[in-house]
Structure 1
């Protein structure tokens, strides 16, 4: 690991078109799980100008059966959930409005071929919902054990969204992106060298412009927007990180009035690096949103994060990456790999041996074992679909259970 370097991560707001799609897909997951904890959902969402389209495979009591028969009122409830999600985000624009958008639902029953491999039956345990590799990562760079570049990128946009919703920043619109570049010395972040914030705004909150005989922009309004963003940066980042040498780009294209799904189509699962570790760790390639927790793309990635975070919280390493792999229909992981990046106080092979032994770990790394230990069969997913699935505070109702550090003491004892 280099001791002196620059590193960059980006985030996108809840109003980014891809994040709108993610939140809708996870709202559908929550709707099904609220009615049936054993529901199966694989929901993809497409958003574009005043249109939302759902597609995918589902089943769940109270909603739809394997024969494709919808329960009375179920499709209306799905549409209502979609519109409420868009309204909560704040879209009431001519090009994308929660009330006026056209909605299309192409969800259909889960394949019986997939179901027979995933469901438990007889002596067969519940199998993984798909093959694949999943990664989890933790670092002691921040209090939440997340890469600092992503940690601050998320918090910039979350703060701006909170101010937009409260009315403290009425000139903001829902779509936004951030990017933070930090300088590291001796592997510790010490300063921000560059920050990019692109935020959708009310008319004329940009520098004056003229093109083809048309004019717009207002220097005073732009100055207000810039002063606000600089204030957010100085409050979110540690004292002294933003200096006179920090290069700050605010809306570098000029104006940003057309945004969200009206400005760019959104699709579920296109922000997987934003969702995880900002490029600081490997990614297995599978998206999370729109999937119930039998899908190991989601649940195994969550448990990898849970294990990596607890290893770092236990003081067994300063950085930790964990990989699991699965085959569709097979319960047990095919492989377990641990990398402590040269920062560990124990051998990686010793950690792998503990993780492979349910008696020593306290639970099995099977789909059912993961879901049971982390309590994943609950409607807790929509809240995870913006500002990162990791580095969050566990909720009393079980949300972000994978962010708990309740396993740290047991891991430390097992590896003593």
Structure 2
């Protein structure tokens, strides 16, 4: 038996808010121009939201309007129109949105335009699948994603729960990485600090309910271990696009690629390659009757086919089919996975897989 830990953050965590703003802007550019090239980065903190990166698009997008809409959706601007997690004054009009977007480098465009169809960047991406759950995810990852969704629904109905937060599971695993028991379930959640005994118990009860679906018991809960979590979001911390790549992928159960996903159009293989690697991992898991499968893709900027495809199934290297190389070009991945018609903002909320 061994201990192993995974973590998620709630939709209202400042890094996740930046991810959602980046992807909401990406969706808007792609909606008006499917050929948009975007690499959008967002930083938020202390009353300011700074948007930078590169966009080449024929779409006309109201950046400020989209930013404010996301802030309302995640609960940073509450039902009473107070900016509870952004600025001390609480007045949304005092939020400063700085639009610093520029155009994509011509040098990059030479290798990634529609005629060439090369990868939008160099790097390596990972995909992972296991047979622990019907969604081919580890049980603990499934539990935390479901818990995050529950929390987001809860804070929209009960104003004692505020948007920011995170959760973590430290599990007891056997030698084959099957979760046998949960040693610690840690919850840090922003709240009004009213009726703490009651609000804590709501979250504890939900965690127990989720764990019980897999026959799991939880030995100990840690709820707001510092004792208080009232100030959060961009007031309590800074947020940055792409700073939660482990949460976005497999919560530490698999290696993580070198790049983030949010704000990037699908010509960027950081995103499309990672999605394709996941699809390949599920496919090989089924075809070879594996319990675990890990896939790595690697690319050179401007080159369409991957430099290498590595597949590891139940600890053994598997030879990839030669046809996979043609299947893993940006153009083909975008077509096969329907990535020009995807609502990317949704992927930034609770994890991409």
Work out the CA distance in 2 between the residues paired with 1:155 and 1:261.
25
Rg larger in 1 or in 2?
A: 1
2:330 is the alignment partner of 1:367: yes
In structure 2, the CA distance between the partners of 1:98 and 1:329, relative to structure 1 (3 Å rule), is farther
CA distance in 2, matches of 1:355, 1:259: 49
2:101 is matched with which residue? 107
**How far off is 1:226 after superposition?**
1.8
Q: In the alignment, which residue of structure 2 is the partner of 1:9? A: 6
Query: CA shift at 1:260, angstroms?
Result: 0.7
Report the more deviating stretch, 184-193 or 255-264. 184-193
Instruction: Say if 2:138 is the partner of 1:144.
Output: no
Whether 1:154 and 2:145 are equivalent positions in the alignment is yes
Deviation at residue 294 of structure 1 after TM alignment: 0.3
CA contact under 8 A between 1:7 and 1:149: conserved in structure 2? no
Which deviates further from its counterpart, 304-313 or 280-289? 304-313
- 2-side partners of 1:90 and 1:333: how far apart? 41
Structure 2 Cα separation of the partners of residues 231 and 98 of structure 1: 35
Contact 1:128 1:328 in 2 (8 A): yes
2:349 aligned residue (386, 395, 411): 386
Q: Once the 2 structures are TM-superposed, how far is the Cα of residue 5 of structure 1 from its aligned partner? A: 2.0
Task: Report the equivalent of 1:282.
Answer: 255
Partner of 1:229: 203
Distance 1:247 1:18 in 2: 28
The offset of 1:52, in angstroms, is 1.0
Q: 1:32 aligns with which of 17, 24, 29?
A: 29
CA distance in 1, matches of 2:37, 2:342: 13
Residue 114 of structure 1 aligns to a residue whose secondary structure is helix
Using the alignment, how far apart are the partners of 1:179 and 1:228 within structure 2?
17
Describe the superposition over 1:132-188 as per-residue Cα deviations: whole angstroms up to 9, x where unpaired. Answer: 0111000111221112222212221211111111x1x33100001000112123532
Counterpart in the other structure of 1:348: 318
The size of the alignment, in residue pairs, is 342
Q: Deviations over 1:14-37 (max 9, x none)?
A: 110000000000001100010011
Match of 2:182 in 1: 192
Alignment of 1:241-390 (within 5 A): 241-243=216-218, 246-314=219-287, 316-342=289-315, 348-349=318-319, 352-356=320-324, 358=326, 364-390=327-353
Task: Give the Cα separation in 1 of the matches to 2:46 and 2:134.
Answer: 40
Structure 2 residue runs of 5 or longer lacking an equivalent are 78-82
TM-score by length of 2: 0.92
Residues 31, 379 of structure 1: 8 Å contact kept: no
Among 143, 161, 172, the alignment partner of 1:172 is 161
**In 2, Cα distance between equivalents of 1:133 and 1:300:** 8
Alignment deviations for residues 45-81 of structure 1 (CA, whole Å, 9 cap, x no partner) = 0011222110010011133xxxxxxxxxx4xx11101
CA deviation string 1:183-241 (max 9, x = no partner): 12353212111110000001x33xxxxxxxxxxxxxxx121022111111112223442
Residue 117 in structure 1 maps to residue 114 in structure 2: no
User: In angstroms, what is the RMSD of aligned CA positions?
Assistant: 1.7
1-structure distance, mates of 2:121, 2:325:
23
What's the TM-score, normalizing by structure 1? 0.79
Q: Secondary structure at the match of 2:65?
A: helix
Q: CA 1:290–1:222 in structure 2 vs 1: closer, same or farther (change >3 Å)?
A: same
